[in-house]
Amino acid sequence: MSYRLIVNGNESSLDVPGMRRLLDVLREDLGLTGTKEGCGEGECGACSVLVDGELVNSCLVPVCQVDGASVLTVEGLAPTGSLDLLQQAFLEAGAAQCGICTPGMLMAAQAYLDAGGGPADDEIREAIAGNLCRCTGYTKIIDAIALAAQR
């Protein structure tokens, strides 16, 4: 069975089993390893991507469910060789430490900002509650998202 995906603006046709996880399609079939696997059961959010603008755990989404959809991953946030406003804010604020949660965290933050989210601490905490980070205590991630929201 063939599936069509538009990933970071590029259209791909994939001949894969329908129950193959979107995460594996991205990482192994398309070589987009920026999206990470932390638990494989939808608990950690490291595999977060946007599907038609909506934040999902790509480890829980079979590819058959997203046929024809538009997928945004961390690789699609900024053109190669540069950082977008949100990534820049993460860098300045010290929001990325080990970096393994960072791609998913950025996607959660992007969804929040796309929905018009502002710099309020409690709203940002709510927006990233599905994304676990073990390094930062979340403080500087929240700072970074607030900074991006202000800009």
Partner 1 sequence: MTVTTRPSRVAPAIDAPVAPVEAPSSGQTRIGRGAAWPKRREGPAKLTGEALYTDDLVFPDAWFGHTVRSTDAHARLLEIDLDPAFDWSKVVVVTAKDIPGENLVSLIADDQPVLVDSEIRHYAEPVALLAAPDRETLRQASRRISLRTQPLAAVFDPLESRQEFAHFALDKGNVEAGFGEAEVVVEGTYRVGHQEQLYIENQAMIAVPRPDGGVTIHGSLQCPYYIHNALKRALRLSDAQAVVIQAETGGGFGGKEEYPSIIAIHAALLAQRLARPVRMIYDRHEDIAATTKRHPAIIRHRTGVTRDGRLVAQDIEVVMDGGAYCTLTPVVLSRGTLHAGGPYNCPNVRIRGRAMATNTPPNGAFRGFGAPQTEFAVETQVNRIADRLTISPLELRRRWAYRIGDETPSGQTLRESVAAEEVLERAAESAEFERIHGLTVVGRRERAERAGSEPKSNVLSSAAGRTARGIGLALGWHGAGFTGSGEVKLASVASVELTSAGEIRVLTASTEMGQGTKTVLPQLAAEQLGVPADAVQIAPQDTSIVPDSGPTVASRTVMVVGGLVLKAARRLREMVEPSTGRPFAESYRDYAREHGGLRVDQQFEPYPDTNFDDATYRGDAYPAYGWACAVAEVEVDLDTGEVAVRNVVSADDVGKAIHPLLAEGQIEGGTLQAVGYATIEEIKLVDGRYLNDRLATYLIPTSLDAPRIDSILVEQPFSGAPHGAKGVGELPMDVPAAAVVAAIHDATGAWIHDLPATPERILAALHGIAPPPLPGLSTTSTPSSEAPA
Residue 123 per-residue DSSP state? H
Shortest approach of partner 1 to residue 15 CB, angstroms? 5
In angstroms, rounded to a whole number, what is the distance separating the alpha carbons of residues 125 and 141?
Answer: 9
Shortest approach of partner 1 to residue 71 CB, angstroms? 13
Residue 107 per-residue DSSP state? H
Q: Which is nearer to partner 1, 45 or 69 (CB)?
A: 45
Shortest approach of partner 1 to residue 68 CB, angstroms? 18
Residue 50 per-residue DSSP state? E
Shortest approach of partner 1 to residue 50 CB, angstroms? 14
Q: Which is nearer to partner 1, 20 or 70 (CB)?
A: 20
Shortest approach of partner 1 to residue 111 CB, angstroms? 14
Q: Which is nearer to partner 1, 69 or 86 (CB)?
A: 86
139-150 and 102-114 helices, crossing angle to 10°: 40
> String of b and e for 109-143 (b: at least 16 CB within 10 Å)?
bbbbbeeebeeeeeebeebbeebbbeebebebbbb
Q: Which is nearer to partner 1, 70 or 132 (CB)?
A: 132
Q: How many CA atoms lie within 13 A of 74 on its CB side?
A: 23
